[in-house]
Amino acid sequence: MATTVAPKLYKNYIGGEWVDARGGSAIENRNPANTDDLAGMFPASTAEDVAAAVDAAAEAYKTWRLVPAPKRAELLFRAAELLVRRKEEFSRDMTREMGKVLAETRGDVQEAIDMTYYMAGEGRRQFGKTTPSELPNKAAMCVRQPLGVCGLITPWNFPMAIPSWKTMPALVLGNTVVIKPAQETPLSVYNMLEVLNEAGVPRGVVNLVSGAGSTCGPAMLKNSGVKAVSFTGSTEVGILVGEECAPLLRPCHLELGGKNIILVMDDANLDLAVDGCIWGGFGTSGQRCTAASRVGVHKKIYREFLDRFTARAKSLKVGDGLDPASEMGPVISKKQLDTVMSYVQIGTNEGAKLAAGGHRLQGGPWAKGWFHEPTIFADVDPGMRIAQEEIFGPVVSVIPVDGLAHAVDVANGVKYGLSSAIYTRNVNAAFSAMRDLHTGIVYVNAPTIGAETHLPFGGTKQTGNGHRESGDAALDFYSEWKTIYVDYSDRLQRAQIDTGNLGPAE
């Protein structure tokens, strides 16, 4: 393929140095909107590279854990300031490597900024507990302590936001990090690492190894020097990650798939609901774990809603994310495009009505990219594969529902449980939905996307294994509690045994 610019050769970041991969091979990072555009050449790392990064992180941990948390936080604050200054540059880099429109990549970088500022604040808020002892002249307390080297495996759809969700809480707590970005979008993680380096994070505290997940992932998981693993990706791969961690009893955080739904009740503000379903279904070309790939619509307003929704979807301008006029970019790769097209065929074979889209966009401005039309299936049965399986593309299934109880049953009738939403003006219905929707996130009169960094993020069922990212909940995964007792009675006191001898005061 031709390239519009000379490719830049990138290296791994290990022990505070930019170093070549041991094998010498490289992976192309091409713009999914224009495959002639080569964003860079990135290392195809080996198990040896991963081992070197883990060793560097383990050595750095010896001193990093002793740096006072407020001082660690000051470095994160500096990094946040640098991210602010370079936001536009990093956003354009992200659009070029990932494809989503500039408005969205600016939001992605902003999320990394928000998370870095937030975790900088946590440097002075790593609160433990003090509590009265049951024995006299004895103090009792508990404090957080870091885990050690954390292995982070991140996806391609949020190339800087999700890495920041994992990296910043790990660092402020005193852990060191080895991060393996998705091979489709390594550049944004490189940009984040450069900022942390410039902010003064010591050598070896953060390490980056780029390459194929099939090579680097197992190498990280099998390395006993890695004390905790955080993975965001598919449920199928997440199960394998969990299985690898189990024999070592290693803490493992899994953030996996979603099949999210927006419920539109008969009293909803239809204009607002359509806006939300367009953004929820087609933002990031549907390539979000929180994407609203299902819409359950009350039968009383079903046809009116469907007409408005399909008209809006058909009017969306699909194109290069660097074009300010584009409202939706490409999917990430030919492989993902093939997956989307296969599900369109599945939906057609299942008997769903293709109401909008359904085709690859080719020729003209789409000739050199992986573009697909915004696609809507109508009259979808909740049991159809297109309403059950994660597609990760711009395909939305519209399902008629009889009322709130039926809508909630449909919403909960999938194996995932990440995000859900309801549009209604009825406060009773809203609170019932908030109670009964079995998802980690619920929105009222807003789409299923738009999580904020100071609140927990994560899901139920096969969306994850119970841990949460973002907010102070993230601190729980990257630390463990240490309970401390200080007996200053100068005599042996036996908890529970001597407690019973104290008796009432005479």
Active-site residue set: 255, 289
List the one residue out of 257, 260, 209 whose CA is nearest residue 231: 257
Q: In terms of Cα–Cα distance, which of 404, 393, 391, 441 is closest to 421?
A: 441
Q: Which two tokens stand for residue 128?
A: 């433990």
- Using the 8-state DSSP alphabet, how is residue 29 labeled? E
- The rounded distance, in Å, linking the Cα atoms of 150 and 139 is 32
Pinpoint the alpha helices (H) of 334-457.
Answer: 334-350, 404-412, 427-436
Sheet holding 353-356, edge to edge: 353-356, 375-378, 395-401, 294-298, 261-264, 419-423, 441-444
Rounded Cα distance, 39 and 42, in Å: 10
Report residue 37: phi and psi, to 5°: -90, 110
Q: Encoding tokens for residue 409?
A: 């049953």
Strands 138-146 and 261-264: unpaired
Burial code (b: 16+ CB inside 10 Å, e: under 16) for 179-211 equals bbbbbbbbbbbbbbbbbbbebebeebbbbbbbb
The three-class DSSP label of residue 421 is: strand
Residues 38/28, Cβ–Cβ less than 8 Å: yes
DSSP of 73-104: HHHHHHHHHHHHHTHHHHHHHHHHHH---HHH
Q: How far apart are CA 322 and CA 86, in angstroms?
A: 17
DSSP 431-482: HHHHHH--SSEEEESS-S----TTS-B--EETTBSS--BSTTTHHHHTEEEE
* Dist. CA 476–CA 481, nearest whole Å: 9
